[in-house]
């Protein structure tokens, strides 16, 4: 059983991680009455296979190869579905999408983007969001959603 807390920066059993996440999403979708249709499921699989942030057009290309529609809305709609329900995340800095690694519980992570290897890891966002909320509150601003993304070097790519 793979470590459910392994970050993208650590070596991990990737096949297992893929399988587990997909299973969790299927369970969640069933419980929440969401329709994980073939395109949507395949879109998630593609994100999981790559295990990195992908642009909508990269995803679209793969979907088209698999016999789904070849026009942008096909990919965008599936990706929007996944993002809306917490099964994927959108990384604005990269104009890209990545499968959520913890789809079983609602969360709002921060993203760490390595400029060395292009890996994108989800890190726990609670502390950061607490600080952000406090800062916003002091200006009378009520935060609804936020995106927090950092660019830098992961442990593997960092100089010794």
Q: List interacting residues with Zn ion (CB under 5 A).
A: 100, 102, 114, 116-117, 122, 154, 156-157
Residue 92 makes contact with a copy of itself by CB under 8 A: yes
> In this complex, which beta carbon is closest to DNA, that of residue 96 or of residue 154?
96
Residue 142 makes contact with a copy of itself by CB under 8 A: yes
> 84: how many CB neighbours lie within 10 A of its CB?
10
Residue 57 makes contact with DNA by CB under 7 A: yes
Does residue 22 contact residue 45 with C-beta atoms inside 8 Å? yes
- Name which position in 15, 23, 70, 117 contacts DNA (CB under 7 A): 70
> In this complex, which beta carbon is closest to a copy of itself, that of residue 27 or of residue 141?
141
112 binds, among DNA, a copy of itself, Zn ion, none (CB under 5 to 8 A by kind): a copy of itself
DSSP H or E segment with residue 110: strand 110-114
Backbone angles phi, psi at 20, to 5 degrees: -65, -45
Long-range contacts of 90-94 (CB under 8 A, 24+ apart): 90/147, 91/53, 91/120, 91/149, 92/147, 92/149, 93/149, 93/151, 94/53, 94/55, 94/120
Distance of CA 15 to the CA centre of its chain: 17
Does residue 33 contact residue 145 with C-beta atoms inside 8 Å? no
**Stretch binding DNA (CB under 7 A), from 1-9, 37-45, 126-134, 143-151:** 37-45
By the criterion CB under 8 A, which residues form the site for a copy of itself? 7, 9, 92-93, 110, 112, 114-115, 121, 123-125, 127-128, 130-132, 134-136, 138-155, 158
* Contact set with DNA (CB under 7 A): 34-35, 37-40, 55-57, 68-74, 76-78, 80-81, 95-96
């Amino acid at each position: 059983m793979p470590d459910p807390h392994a970050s993208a920066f650590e070596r991990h059993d990737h096949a297992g991680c893929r399988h587990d996440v997909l299973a969790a999403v299927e369970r969640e979708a069933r419980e929440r009455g969401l329709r994980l249709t073939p395109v949507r499921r395949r879109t998630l699989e593609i994100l999981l296979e790559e295990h990195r942030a992908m642009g909508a057009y990269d995803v679209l290309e793969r979907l088209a190869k698999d016999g789904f529609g070849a026009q942008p809305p096909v990919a965008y709609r599936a990706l929007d579905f996944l993002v809306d329900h917490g099964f994927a995340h959108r990384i604005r800095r990269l104009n890209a999408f990545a499968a959520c690694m913890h789809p079983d519980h609602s969360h709002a992570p921060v993203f760490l983007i390595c400029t060395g290897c292009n890996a994108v890891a989800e890190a726990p966002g609670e502390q950061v969001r607490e600080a952000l909320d406090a800062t916003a509150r002091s200006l009378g601003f009520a935060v609804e959603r936020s995106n927090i993304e950092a660019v830098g070097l992961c442990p593997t790519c960092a100089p010794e």
